[in-house]
Structure 1
Amino acid sequence: MFVSQPSLSAGIKKLEKELDATLFERGGRTVLLTPAGHLFQERARAIVAEYQSVRQDLQQLKDKPTLRIATLHSIRGNSIAELISKFHKQYPNVFIELCNGCLPDLQDWLEQGKADLALTWLREQDDDQNSQFLFHQPLALAVPSNHTFAQIKSACLADLNEQPYIKRLNCEFWQLYPKLFDQAGVIPHMVYASNNEEWVISLIQAGVGMSIMPVWDDLTHITYIPMTDLSLSRTIGLQWRRQQNFDVVNWFRNFVVEQDWQVACSSLCQKADMQLDKSLPSQE
């Protein structure tokens, strides 16, 4: 055991005192375990085995680190998948866990340590020391490409009156819409409501209805119409816990900032911004 006999005896006595139990029968040259000693021996062997198992798991975690990424419901899955695919090619040993939720969910998961990074909406009050800007994204009216609205250059809220509308339940601005519709005297014809962004996109493409949503550049059969009396936008970026300093988190942060897809999204959004009425105050 690489321990001197006196030190071993002292350690056993200290353990018996801590447990308030006699572990050995000491008589002459014979030392036997007491019933308490047999019980403790059995449990101690299990503890040692579990400890060795934990050490093995920790080594595996070191060799194959896990990165837990939380994303907004309203950020399209294909954009995230493309990003993850590129990251995996550069860091093939990293195991990635993805989960998505609403803005409050992402904030809670970060604070509680259930997520290492969040791909989320950055607001003015967010701390620059634990966030990284990625791209700016305006919101516009998305309509089926065969809809009559697809031929107009812009629209206003009043144009939505009695039009088939798809409600995006996970939109960051959902609390704002009822008030805006009411002020404009608009009663959209709600035909569908979903907390899944891909479902909303598919329904618009199928001609079911229209919706005010973020502008994406790779959608087919959808036309974006700037709103002349509505100027909404969001800033998408990464967030993390300031005290966190995991290597895998730093790898992903640096990787994302260097990606070309960020530039492509920014270019798209600048183009869409040019269509919006610049005279309107931002409600971001």
Structure 2
Amino acid sequence: MELQQLRLFLAAAEAESFTRGAERAFVSQPALSASISKLEAEMGVRLFTRNKRNVVLTPAGRTLVKRARVIVGECSRAKDELKRHNIQSLLRLGVVNTLPITLVARLIEQYRRDHPGITLSVIDASNKDLEQLEQEDRIDMALTLLQDKPSGQRRFTRARELFRESYRLAVPADHHLSQSPVVSFNDLENEPFVIRSHCEHRKIIQGILKSREIRLNIAYVTNQDDRAMALIKAGIGIAIVPECYQAPDIVTCAIQEISTQRVIGFEWGDGENSDQVSPFIEFSATARWGQSRQ
């Protein structure tokens, strides 16, 4: 018994005609008749009662119809599953560009290693640009700052927090402030400063400085955190950075006037690839996000 024989048998049974069954199965009528005759010979039973106008299933034929539908259906489902297995699932992730690349790279490397069947496509962008990517349906989820945003036409209606962190002052290890557990903005007035122009809390920090009539001695302005850390290490200036930014020969201190924290987590919606989102979030939740601060 072959699968094609069962398919042709079902076509004839459902059409109640060898001619119409052949048309349905896209074969010639003689080919269908020959296939059914061979099947009857193999089974040792008559499957159809033939007359001039149509064909009618025998009791044995009705029994085989039930089995044949199950067999043909299962084979079709197996074929579809194997096709999907060969096509890698795609997950498009947007990452806010103020997260240390070491943390992001470690997460991506571990996930790709443990989930070889998933293609992970990652885009770095600012928090504002991530919202635009969301609106344009270019990402399935975002690893970003969680904050109150107008609903508007937003696609991402769900969120999950991963961790919270404060902002700290980063100075070279041999800097005179490196031994201070807590510093004040008054301590920074004459210090060369590296400004992170893309800092999400920059306006809040500027407001505090303005209220205290403190002017910073700006030595360098950059929108790249790796440059900022390199400049600090080289002694070009000091900077205010998120707590997760750590590097050899750089020390961070708490800042007395800054009590706000930034909340990092995932935002996502119910898109085409939503079945890939939850496993990635659960995997990410097990990552040691605080490791760089220990």
Normalising by structure 1, report the TM-score: 0.67
Quick one: structure 1 residues 174 and 218, their matched pair in 2 at CA, closer, same or farther if it must change by over 3 Å?
A: closer
2:132 counterpart of 1:108: yes
Q: What's the offset of the Cα at 1:60? A: 7.7
Contact 2:157 2:268 in 1 (8 A): no
Q: What's the offset of the Cα at 1:120? A: 0.4
In 2, Cα distance between the equivalents of 1:131 and 1:68?
A: 16
CA RMSD across the alignment: 2.8
Q: 1:45-82 CA distances to partner (integer Å, 9 max, x unpaired)?
A: xxxxxxxxxxxxxx689721222111111101110110
In 1, Cα distance between the equivalents of 2:150 and 2:165?
A: 17
Quick one: structure 1 residues 217 and 164, their matched pair in 2 at CA, closer, same or farther if it must change by over 3 Å?
A: closer
AA paired with 1:92? P
Out of 161, 164, 184, the residue aligned to residue 212 of structure 2 is 184
2:288 corresponds in structure 1 to: 261
Kindly indicate whether structure 1 or structure 2 has the higher relative contact order, using CA contacts under 8 Å at least 6 residues apart.
1
In 1, Cα distance between the equivalents of 2:235 and 2:175?
A: 8
- In the comparison of the two structures, how many residue pairs are matched? 213
Contact 1:117 1:240 in 2 (8 A): yes
Contact 1:150 1:223 in 2 (8 A): yes
Q: What's the offset of the Cα at 1:251? A: 2.2
2:148 counterpart of 1:120: no
AA paired with 2:200? E
2:269 counterpart of 1:241: yes
Equivalent position SS for 2:178: helix
Equivalent position SS for 1:152: coil
Quick one: structure 1 residues 183 and 263, their matched pair in 2 at CA, closer, same or farther if it must change by over 3 Å?
A: closer
2:232 counterpart of 1:208: no
Identity of aligned residues (%): 22
Larger radius of gyration: 2
2:74 corresponds in structure 1 to: none
Alignment of 1:32-71 (within 5 A): 63-71=87-95
1:220 corresponds in structure 2 to: 248
Q: What's the offset of the Cα at 1:246? A: 2.8
In 2, Cα distance between the equivalents of 1:126 and 1:79?
A: 29
Equivalent position SS for 1:135: strand
2:119 counterpart of 1:95: yes
Q: 1:140-163 CA distances to partner (integer Å, 9 max, x unpaired)?
A: 111111111102221111111121
Q: What's the offset of the Cα at 1:243? A: 5.0
Q: What's the offset of the Cα at 1:264? A: 4.1
In 1, Cα distance between the equivalents of 2:86 and 2:136?
A: 22
Unpaired segments of 5 or more residues in structure 2? 1-21, 26-82
Contact 1:73 1:102 in 2 (8 A): yes
Equivalent position SS for 2:183: coil
Contact 1:73 1:195 in 2 (8 A): no
Contact 1:116 1:249 in 2 (8 A): yes
